[in-house]
Chains A and B, each alone.
Chain A
């Protein structure tokens, strides 16, 4: 080879290695300041530009987390680091082959235990009688779409948030508004009531979760006492207090969930594993321990261990975004509502989907699901303005509720189970409860006759 050829070869070689990040269109690069240690970010999703921590060159960086410590490496150094840990003989191909074989093995294991369907086992359970639900209260006052709501543990108060940035605390029995806060952003997609009833948390397009302590003094300006707790790099889709007022779990459009300490704003644990926006999360009922489930736009529902940050189980049978996840009251299963117009029940101990709640006539996505207290009923709000009530065990629809004039965005059952409240894009919230059910008589018969 001539000298010029050799030089060209070297040039090409260096260009090819340096062009590893060149496949990303430059329009997607953002110049950002050094990420704050308190921020929670998706691995490989947000790309910043700056000096690499290991090689020192100015390159597009990938923000990754190692044992919860953020490091900024350029993509070449990430590859080198990954290669270092490989055992001898492992290449990209062996790893791919192993992942494929593990996936098929997982499917086989799951299929082996699939001996019967839930509705077959439930055939011996008595069918529910005719259901009549009535709208008891209509809460009017929001100026725009209601996006989220939560009940207080005193079974009486409700906090709701809407697109116009207002967060309102209502008394559900009297329909009075007790507090109102105006957030500095629109589309407040998440709100939650603290277990003590003394604070509410909310967030949305501002990428933050803010906690407002509620005071008894009605004239007090709540915005003055606001505390910013969580910081994500994309919109906040859902937030929930853990069993105390001191910790908040949030999920975000940046694909991560995170656990924060309210007092200090410190990030306690981050959960990486979704490959698209996380839309919803739900904590396990307290008896069963420190896990939570999250559902996202990557059609996956993941179960996480809060202490280690590990993804313990993953379910991917939906055909579209999962909008809502909710644990069964016993904590052994959870239900999901999705844009593919179905709701599904997944059992954690059997590690598979055990029921699908769908009908050919339902073509609009389910935006929100919740269980009744015993877990027999599943309430699901759909984008076709209705709420369908499903019999969880038999898989049949028990009732349809009409009344909203736009999409139902959120459905929640009260803590004592006497009513459930639905929020909708028609700017109202409605609370519904039972009028009278012939199955009530059936239960009395069972008590007498058994």
Chain B
């Protein structure tokens, strides 16, 4: 490698040409003498398939260096197999510390490799320019047959700050041309109902995964259209306002495959927001149709907005409370979430959650992961909880401040008790004190 890199400064295209022939031109005597040496260093004569295999292990930058060694290696660098996956990083110096994908590289990809691309994602920073640059690239992917497309905001959702029409037209280019989209990740974008219709019209047979949390321009009817037509949909992520009884029924229809994963974000825009209810029968239909599906729910609500939730049994498996949640609600969770696997409570308050935790241990027999922060639980109740759950608790993440010492256990001995019942060494999570 070193030999090749020396004195070769060209951007594009090979260095020494006809390297192979040069070697053969050496005198017989020299060849005999250096036979062994030569055998080891005939890099330039490696077959393309092997080269391809090796290149696949190299990160892009190293591959690019390698491509400057000779024409042969340069050709290998541009083989379609190496351009199936790409992640465009679009950052502006004013808004990000990270560098962006080089514009020349982007040009090259669009020129030479746009029909090879199959798995593409765009990572954009918080500036509008980055989002617009992403859409410009998207608009040029006319010859692509994408299987996967991801639009990822790495900071503030900048796709929401660009003109909606520009975004929609760029996205539609992909929807129309790809015709075989399998995974689509468009969270925090201004996608709307009409563009979803275009998606469905062209990709209904292939769509398996759709992530569209926080897309405010989509309506329940829009997402229902997707569920009705895309019978292969296995994973779906959306906000609660898009969830309806009709949607769940559509996802449970006979024609529909088993759903594997449903993620719902329940987010409050303003304090005192009212949320609609979903009938128990709709959840039951889902359960019957897809008995093993994961129902993941993220709650970002004010304490008094939980009224409609957890009144009936709900097949939720992963529950995340991002803000303060009351004892009362946690009590209802214990009663109504028999399939619960993972529970995270970011904050509760200063009254101990002893009863609620015990009930959850009793009734949520699948619970294997729990995280508690800014809550209070007495040490005795906590030990009781762990005893009841036993070693099915694979993840137990409790902030140190949560545990309140009592007459039976202090902070120094509780970790032994808990470790005993868990069958492995355990400590609470600590934060630095200085």
Q: A and B: real partners?
A: no
A interface residues with partner B (beta carbon < 8 Å): none
B interface residues with partner A (beta carbon < 8 Å): none
